[in-house]
Amino acid sequence: MNAISDHMQFLGGMTISAIPDMGKIVFTHGLTSTFRDGFLPLVRNWKRWRLAAEEVKVSGTALDMILDTRMMAMADIADEFGHNSKFERMLSAGSTKFGLVSLMAPWNATIKQFAGMVTMTNLLRATERVAAKAATADDIRKLAAAGIDTDLAERISREARRHGDDQDGIFLAQGANWTDKTALEAFRAAVVRDVDRIIVTPGQDKPLWMSTELGKTVGQFKSFGVSSMQKTMLAGLQQRDAATLNGLLVMMGLGALTYAVKETLADREVSDDPKVWAVEAFDRSGISGWLMEANNIAEKASRGRVGLSAVTGQQVTRYASRNVTGAFLGPSADAIADIFQVSGSIFAGDTTKADLRKARQLLPMQNLFYVRSLLNRVEEATGDALGMEQAGKKP
């Protein structure tokens, strides 16, 4: 239940944070393939592109408009059988709708379809080269990583030639017509695996302690960082090719864009310090995995004397609003600490605008990116109307 309420409370800007997802397609398949097999077909033949996208959905991925799989996994909401009370079922239903309200479900569905289309094209081309005895070592490695050996590759290629259709650079596998069901299952499983690896969807790659009840609370919202470490950073260190370099540069650039957009939406001034931009781009890019979480804990524990804030002179913006309790024990503990802070200030009669902000941050959907600026103004006007002072000043 805490996971569901925290999900609606904190993840209103998640869609903006997901902008660097586009760079991960380049990271995996390279710049040339991303444009040749993705963007160009999208521009040339929209109707056929949609058919290819449907093929991706039939494979069993990009179904976020219905299942909201990725957002639920990233928010650590997976135990549907545990929501037994009416209140919990109501929160669960609200959480599902939140994926639409925050635009995260449409984004995930679209970007996964795009990634799946590029993945299918590359898989089929690789199997064709295997069948023609012209496969490269990279082809063999990537197919093997997807669980496809030489025999399966030849069978997939045979079915694709027999039943598939290639027009305007858009290859439709038309798997419903395949007669070799083993080949079809292997092909679709490879597509799902690669899509969930490209558009990082947390799965069973998190440590076992995060599956315990205490671990779920402490590790909430951290599963993406753990999964990204496996699927992005470590994968890049193993891949080490031009696609990896191009992808890293694109992801860093999109990470910097995300920083600028989120600061603007939050009515905060965008820094003009190159060091801040570099750190923010690295953090927002999704490359770092759990390293930035470790940096955040180090900064909180040392009051900024250890970590990247010692270089830039300020905390990384993604963690600036977290208190020490939240850094160590997760967002639920963070929220409890804020509740006591707000209630204590009310009873003591020294409530400030900082306390008002903490109270506002406890509300569901309070940081939806397209209404956040309006809520900031309402908060400021409320504080002025009640005669509240800034933190540290006596009212």
Tell me the average pLDDT across 353-382.
84
The answer to whether 313 and 253 are in contact (CB under 8 A) is: no
Query: pLDDT tens across 261-296, in order?
Result: 988 888 888 999 999 999 999 989 988 888 888 888
Report residue 2's pLDDT band, with 50, 70 and 90 as the boundaries. Answer: very low
Whether 236 contacts 230, CB under 8 Å: no
351 pLDDT tier (thresholds 50, 70, 90):
confident
**Judging by beta carbons within 10 Å of its beta carbon (0-12, 13-18, 19+), is residue 270 exposed, middle or buried?**
middle
Each residue's pLDDT tens digit, 126-156: 999 999 999 888 889 889 988 899 999 999 9
- For the chain, which residues make up each domain, given as ranges? 2-209, 349-395
Per-residue pLDDT band for 327 (boundaries 50, 70, 90) equals: low
Question: Of 323, 320, 321, which is closest to residue 334 (Cα–Cα)?
Answer: 323
Query: Residue 1 has what pLDDT?
Result: 46
Q: Which of 239, 234, 38, 230 is nearest to 138 (CA)?
A: 239
**Which range has the worst mean pLDDT, 67-76, 180-189, 290-299, 337-346?**
67-76
Q: What is the pLDDT of residue 114?
A: 92
Q: Which residue has the tokens 């558009």?
A: 199
Q: Is the pLDDT of residue 31 over 80?
A: yes
Distance, CA of 302 to CA of 56 (rounded, Å):
47
Percent of the chain with pLDDT over 90: 24
Q: How confident is the model at residue 81 (pLDDT cuts 50, 70, 90)?
A: very low
**pLDDT interval class at 75 (50, 70, 90):** low
Residue 8: predicted pLDDT: 66
Q: What is the pLDDT of residues 163-213, one digit of tens each?
A: 988 777 778 888 888 999 999 999 999 999 999 888 888 777 777 777 777
Q: Which two tokens stand for residue 128?
A: 């064709």
Instruction: Report pLDDT for 391.
Output: 60
d(CA 175, CA 353): 59
Q: What is the 3-state secondary structure (H, E, C) of the chain?
A: CHHHHHHHHHCCCHHHHCCCHHHHHHHHHCHHHHHHHHHHHHHHCHHHHHHHHHHHHHHCCCCCCCCCHHHHHHCCCCCHHHCCCHHHHHHHHHHHHHHHHCCHHHHHHHHHHHHHHHHHHHHHHHHHHHHCCCCCHHHHHHHHHCCCCHHHHHHHHHHHHHHCEEECCEEECCHHHCCCHHHHHHHHHHHHHHHHHHCCCCCCCCCHHHHCHHHHHHCCCCHHHHHHHHHHHHHHHHHCCHHHHHHHHHHHHHHHHHHHHHHHHCCCCCCCCHHHHHHHHHHHHCCCCCHHHHHHHHHHHHCCCCCCHHHHCCCCHHHCCCCHHHHHHCHHHHHHHHHHHHHHHHHHCCCCHHHHHHHHCCCCCCCCCCCHHHHHHHHHHHHHHCCCCCCCCCC
Do the Cβ atoms of 293 and 305 come closer than 8 Å?
no
Task: Look over the chain and give the mean of its residue pLDDT values, rounded to a whole number.
Answer: 82
What pLDDT, on a 0 to 100 scale, did the predictor assign at position 214? 76
Contacts of 148 (CB under 8 A, 6+ apart): 123, 127, 156, 186, 187, 190
pLDDT beyond 80 at 320: no
φ and ψ at residue 386, rounded to 5 degrees? -90, 0
Write the pLDDT tens digit of every residue in 221-236. 777 778 888 888 888 8
For tokens 């012209």, what's the residue? 134
pTM of the predicted model as reported, rounded to 2 decimal places = 0.81
- Beta bridge partners of residue 172, listed in sequence order: 165
Give the pLDDT of residue 394: 42
- Least confidently predicted of 33-47, 76-90, 346-360: 76-90
